[in-house]
Amino acid sequence: DVKVTQSSRYLVKRTGEKVFLECVQDMDHENMFWYRQDPGLGLRLIYFSYDVKMKEKGDIPEGYSVSREKKERFSLILESASTNQTSMYLCASSYSRQGVQPQHFGDGTRLSIL
């Protein structure tokens, strides 16, 4: 089975802090994704990556950056956390760009910015 692991289930940070959310997958997937989920808005794509050291902006990249130094690890960075970034963050991975592949998700990180 695919295993996508997010480093924290719950996280509380303060406004202005630099926040790192880590995601690791163990299935040698090429593609990795970061979403945020807010009530009534569904899931929105922040950033994604099709390869090591490669990144592409999703629909709401402002205020975020990402890092993919190794194939299995994809980090989301909040450069200067703000209260409107309080949300549920979900990481996902999928096998490759060939054809349509399901994405497999981690358990999510509930992030609160105070």
| Contact with another protein (CB under 8 A) among 108, 111, 112, 113 | 108
Assigned token pair, 96:
């490759």
Minimum CB distance to another protein, residue 40 (Å)? 6
Note whether 94 binds another protein by CB under 8 A.
yes
| Contact with another protein (CB under 8 A) among 21, 46, 76, 92 | 92
Q: Do 75 and 22 form a contact (C-beta atoms < 8 A)?
A: yes
Minimum CB distance to another protein, residue 16 (Å)? 27
Cα 57 to Cα 70: distance, rounded to the nearest angstrom? 19
Binding site for another protein (CB under 8 A): 9, 31, 33, 40-45, 48, 50, 58, 88, 90, 92, 94, 97, 99-108, 110
